[in-house]
Structure 1
Amino acid sequence: MSWVTKTLNSTLGKKLLMALTGLFLILFLVVHLAGNLQLLLPDEGESFNIYAETMANNPLIKVVSIGNFAFILIHVIWAILLTKTNKKARPVSYAVSNASTNSTWASRNMGILGTVILLFLIIHLRGFWYEFKFGEIPTIVYDGITYKNGFAIISEAYSNILYVIVYVVAMGFLGFHLSHGFASAFQTLGLNHVKYSPLIKKVGSIFSIVIPALFALIPIVMYIQTL
């Protein structure tokens, strides 16, 4: 067995992969949010449609997209493996547990939070990514160039209050997941220091509120605009 296989099969190796894939997905959230915020520009979707078409035809973005799906899969699989490892290490719960005082609610329920986010992601990808790639998307012309009108598809989806509610609730789960995952990833990578750890936790707390809140704002605003 090679040292790479041994490392990946160890608890530390699994945690390292979780941390690295988690940080990549955090970075992806920022980039994805920057693109999605263009949905709120007062140009009836022109900026977003041009942006989406440009990204879809960029070879580098296609590679990153494949990598993103791979990292999501790795993140999920290794989370399951770590959970099983932890249960094997402690098959019987302690008679007295002070978990609520020694850890946050999010840290104790990362599996539940991650599962809800994964289910939402599947629904979200089926409703948007799959439709963009394989569905019949209406087109629109800007300056003589034809683009897919993804804005129209998204506007229609966000006119449904049930989907908006599901989206906003899912972002709440994402916020809790990030509130623990952000700082935990840096800690796993050994970036722990009496000077820097408090700052990392503070940045993580702000990130876990601002990013999900901005994501949730998009469907809320677009729904209000349909009233």
Structure 2
Amino acid sequence: MNWFTKTFSSTVGRKIVMSVTGLFLCSFLVVHLLGNLQLFRNDGGEAFNLYSDFMAHNGLIRTMEWVLLAGFAFHIYDALVLTRRNQAARPIPYQNNHPEENSSWASRNMGLLGTVILVFLIIHLYNFLIPARFDGLDPVNIDDVEYENLYAEVVYAFKQWWYVLIYVLGMIALAYHLIHGFQSAFQTLGLNHKKYTPFIQMFGYAFSVIVCLAFAAIPLYFFFFV
């Protein structure tokens, strides 16, 4: 086993991979949110369908989808490995252990939060990505050009109360996951300083809440107002 493999299979190496992939996935959230905000435009879904068509047929975007998939895979796999290592290192919990005194609820339940997010992601991909990529959607005419009407799928999905509930719960789990993970990622990468850490924590908290609230607002808007 060479030094590169040893480094990134060690606990410290896996934490670095977790941090880098986590921050990369945060950048994806911003891009994805900016595209989804087209749904709020009062144009019958025209802007969103044009955006979806661009994302589906742009070669660079399609390549980045594989990079994104790899980022998710590494992030999830390293999370599982690190969790098992932590459990193996401490198979018997301390008798007088009060973790709530020195750690947040989110930090103690990152595995649970990650599982909820993964379940949401699978359901979300099943509802939108698979029909758009493989099943083919009904066409809609925009400026005498036919595009797949993904907007209609969004409207239908967000009129289902159970899916809106799953989506909102997924965003709540994601917010808590990000609140801890954002600051933890910078700390793992060595960017921990008494002068900058408070700002990173504040920015991470604001990022987590604002992004997840914006995502959650989309299904609620369609369910109650469209």
Normalising by structure 2, we get a TM-score of 0.98
Match of 1:91, SS? coil
Deviations 1:139-174 (A, max 9, x none): 111111111110001100101111111111111111
1:222 lines up with 2:217 in the alignment: no
User: How many residues align structurally?
Assistant: 226
Match of 1:65, SS? helix
Instruction: Tell me the amino acid that sits aligned with residue 200 of structure 2.
Output: I
List gaps (5 residues or longer) in structure 2: none
The answer to whether the 8 A contact 1:106-1:176 is kept is: yes
Counterpart in the other structure of 2:52: 52
Counterpart in the other structure of 2:39: 39
Instruction: Tell me the amino acid that sits aligned with residue 203 of structure 2.
Output: V
Q: Distance in 1 between matches of 2:210 and 2:26?
A: 13
Shift of 1:135: 1.4
Counterpart in the other structure of 2:122: 122
The answer to whether the 8 A contact 2:136-2:148 is kept is: no
Counterpart in the other structure of 1:3: 3
Match of 1:146, SS? strand
Normalising by structure 1, we get a TM-score of 0.98
Match of 1:147, SS? strand
Counterpart in the other structure of 1:92: 92
Match of 2:141, SS? strand
Shift of 1:11: 0.4
The answer to whether the 8 A contact 1:131-1:137 is kept is: yes
The answer to whether the 8 A contact 2:23-2:182 is kept is: yes
Shift of 1:132: 0.5
Instruction: Tell me the amino acid that sits aligned with residue 119 of structure 1.
Output: V
1:193 lines up with 2:196 in the alignment: no
Deviations 1:60-110 (A, max 9, x none): 111111111111111111000000111121121112113101000000000
Q: Distance in 1 between matches of 2:20 and 2:162?
A: 34
1:61-140 correspondence to structure 2 within 5 Å = 61-140=61-140
Shift of 1:136: 3.0
List gaps (5 residues or longer) in structure 1: none
1:142 lines up with 2:116 in the alignment: no
Runs ≥4 residues deviating over 3 A: none
Percent identity of equivalent pairs:
47
Shift of 1:208: 1.3
Instruction: Tell me the amino acid that sits aligned with residue 31 of structure 1.
Output: V
Q: Distance in 1 between matches of 2:167 and 2:99?
A: 30
Instruction: Tell me the amino acid that sits aligned with residue 169 of structure 2.
Output: V
Instruction: Tell me the amino acid that sits aligned with residue 158 of structure 2.
Output: Y
The answer to whether the 8 A contact 1:40-1:222 is kept is: no
